[in-house]
Structure 1
Amino acid sequence: MKIGIGLPNQVREMRPSIIPAWASQAETAGFSSLGTVGRISYPGLMDTVALAAAAGATNTIELISNIMITPVWPATLLAKEVAGIDAVSGHRLTLGIGLGGRPDDFVVDGLGPRGTGKRLDQDLEVYRSVWRGETVDGASNPLVPTGTRDVPLMFGGMAPASFERMARWGAGYIGPSVPAEMAAQPFDAARAAWTNAGREGSPRLVAIAYCVFGDVERGRANVLDYYSSAGEQVMGIISSGICAGPDAVRSAVQAYSELGVDELIFNPALADIDEVARLADIVL
């Protein structure tokens, strides 16, 4: 099982200039990937900006959004943005997609929080058209250079439609930020949807978990603040899955390995660059 690390782009009031140094240090340490967590209505750094900064600061490590709330974007603009990040990185980007669940994240007129599933299905068609160099929305030219590839897609979410969408469009499934024992069911559902769709092989399965080593209480507070609009029940589940300290991290690695996932990405609860080395010392 591979071990990746998240960028601290959605830690409240994080210092954006930390991103390139964090990315470079993570690559040097030997992590398999750099991930982002995304919201709009929160004082963090946009996924696309964080991924672009990481692309410029690294050479080999994979970049992955886990997950990006894509229905908040006009589809043609996001497709062009994503294609650019992927090209700058040398084709190291995987786009992890989700619908989003907080109404205040939908800030673009005409792209509200209703009908996001139907809109995403339409957007996926647009992404592929843009990446294949087709003209869209009345444009007189292709939006991307020749040589742009279909960026690999992964999907999060717990609804049946999310698993069906993953099996139709995706390379795999990104699990929720919950304790490992609660993640077994959605990973099984992803495998079943893949088989039912007649796909060969198995879906790529990526697990995510929060971790903190330095100021544990501040880290826990940061995570809970991020999920505060989701309600007490969700906050309680998320809180119970935070890996605080070396023993909890080792236990998560063991648990997710037993679930048969391909990769576990630890998202930071602190925007403290020392957390990169602390995690690497335990898991690499």
Structure 2
Amino acid sequence: MDLVAVWAVIVFVFVCEENQTVQIGTGLPNQVRNVRPDLIPAWAARAEQAGFSTLTTVGRYAYPGVSDTVALAAAAGATSTIGLLSAVMLAPTWPGSLLAKELAGIDGVSGGRLRVGLGVGIRPDDFVADGFGLAGRGARLERDLVTFREVWAGKEVGGGPNPAVPPGTREIPLLFGGWAPAVMDRMARWGEGYIGASLPAPAVAPSFDTAREAWKRAGREGSPRLVALAYYALDDPEAGKRNIYDYYSGAGDEFATMISSAVCGSAEAVRAAISTFEDIGADEIMFNPATTDPDEITRLADIVF
């Protein structure tokens, strides 16, 4: 190869790296129906080796999967560099002080790689703990956010002399998902960013705009971190769509159909998702698996890297 050709390659690589401003993460299959829990650690390690920025979880209780906290803890122990994010965890289904301790432990095990995406939930069957029902969940989350900070700061708990967490526990960065005005206000007061719904970019763009507006109204500097979510199933797209429909079917046929029809089933669809989410200002795109085939990690990596 002559010097001109070498220079051309260097310039090409430099331009590609400069133009790729969005980070690409991938999900754990923790809420694919009947997932084998022992798949989670190996999946996490493989995603880290492939070069993804972040591992995400999808959360709900009333479904045969693995909870966010367990999946994130398993991923934390199986990896050393990749980021961890719940996208999103239904925080009001938990007692706030207990969840704060769980999250602090996961963050500590990971070496400070956890970010927590929070939502309030919409399905009554996810709210199973006595005193933690669907009603009043927004107000509970507001109280829990105060509790989180107190627990992570080492305040004594339970009326006794002891804190719940060891010294050095940090305040874990929070992001928020949802559509209601209260969500955007909460994000601007407490969070570092916003997580969009698992829908195509044109459907997510208005919520990204609203998040930016709420951030500005709150007097925050800069912009919120904007995270986009997309499902993918590259080897068997139809199976992936069936799985995603099944997961969201409790929210009604229209909603389940809308999300399942957006599953990326080809390289072209993945690239189009990246391009359109970049266009609306996403800082990071999380491609969540719609099946439990570990080879999907490699298929996705071959497309995006």
Q: TM-score normalised to the size of structure 1?
A: 0.99
Distance (Å, rounded) in 2 between the aligned partners of 1:106 and 1:139: 29
Q: Determine if contact 1:178/1:241 at 8 Å carries over to the other structure.
A: yes
Pick which of 15-24 and 159-168 moved more.
15-24
3-state SS of the aligned residue for 1:9?
A: coil
2:199 corresponds to: 178
Distance (Å, rounded) in 2 between the aligned partners of 1:137 and 1:102: 30
Tell me by how many angstroms 1:139 deviates.
3.4
Q: 2:249 aligns with which of 221, 228, 238?
A: 228
1:12-43 deviations in Å (ceiling 9; x for gaps):
00111111111111111100000000010000
Tell me by how many angstroms 1:239 deviates.
2.1
Q: 1:114 aligns with which of 132, 135, 138?
A: 135
Q: Determine if contact 2:201/2:277 at 8 Å carries over to the other structure.
A: yes
**Runs of 5+ unmatched residues, structure 2:** 1-21
Does residue 62 of the first structure (1) align with residue 62 of the second (2)? no
Letter in 1 for 2:98: L
Tell me by how many angstroms 1:213 deviates.
0.8
3-state SS of the aligned residue for 1:66?
A: strand
Distance (Å, rounded) in 2 between the aligned partners of 1:68 and 1:16: 18
Q: Determine if contact 1:179/1:240 at 8 Å carries over to the other structure.
A: no
3-state SS of the aligned residue for 2:167?
A: coil
1:272 corresponds to: 293
1:196-244 deviations in Å (ceiling 9; x for gaps):
0000011000000000011221111100000011012211221232111
Distance (Å, rounded) in 1 between the aligned partners of 2:117 and 2:197: 12
RMSD: 0.7
Structure 1 residue ranges, 4+ long, deviating more than 3 angstroms after superposition: none
1:42-88 deviations in Å (ceiling 9; x for gaps):
00001000000000000000000000000000111000000000000
Q: Determine if contact 2:104/2:172 at 8 Å carries over to the other structure.
A: yes
Pick which of 235-244 and 9-18 moved more.
235-244
2:149 corresponds to: 128
Q: Determine if contact 1:178/1:240 at 8 Å carries over to the other structure.
A: no
3-state SS of the aligned residue for 2:286?
A: strand
Q: 2:169 aligns with which of 141, 148, 151?
A: 148
Q: How many residues align?
A: 284
Q: 1:244 aligns with which of 265, 290, 293?
A: 265
Give the 5 Å matches for 1:8-87.
Answer: 8-87=29-108
1:263 corresponds to: 284
2:190 corresponds to: 169
3-state SS of the aligned residue for 1:264?
A: strand
Q: Determine if contact 2:241/2:261 at 8 Å carries over to the other structure.
A: no
Does residue 215 of the first structure (1) align with residue 236 of the second (2)? yes
3-state SS of the aligned residue for 2:117?
A: strand
Q: Determine if contact 1:129/1:136 at 8 Å carries over to the other structure.
A: no
3-state SS of the aligned residue for 2:163?
A: coil
3-state SS of the aligned residue for 1:67?
A: strand
Letter in 2 for 1:211: Y
Q: Determine if contact 1:11/1:44 at 8 Å carries over to the other structure.
A: yes
Distance (Å, rounded) in 1 between the aligned partners of 2:184 and 2:216: 11
Distance (Å, rounded) in 1 between the aligned partners of 2:96 and 2:267: 41
Distance (Å, rounded) in 2 between the aligned partners of 1:163 and 1:244: 31
1:90 corresponds to: 111
Q: Determine if contact 1:11/1:222 at 8 Å carries over to the other structure.
A: yes
**Runs of 5+ unmatched residues, structure 1:** none
Higher alpha-carbon Rg:
2
Distance (Å, rounded) in 1 between the aligned partners of 2:62 and 2:165: 29
Letter in 2 for 1:147: G
Distance (Å, rounded) in 2 between the aligned partners of 1:140 and 1:132: 14
Distance (Å, rounded) in 1 between the aligned partners of 2:272 and 2:281: 15
1:202 corresponds to: 223
Q: TM-score normalised to the size of structure 2?
A: 0.92
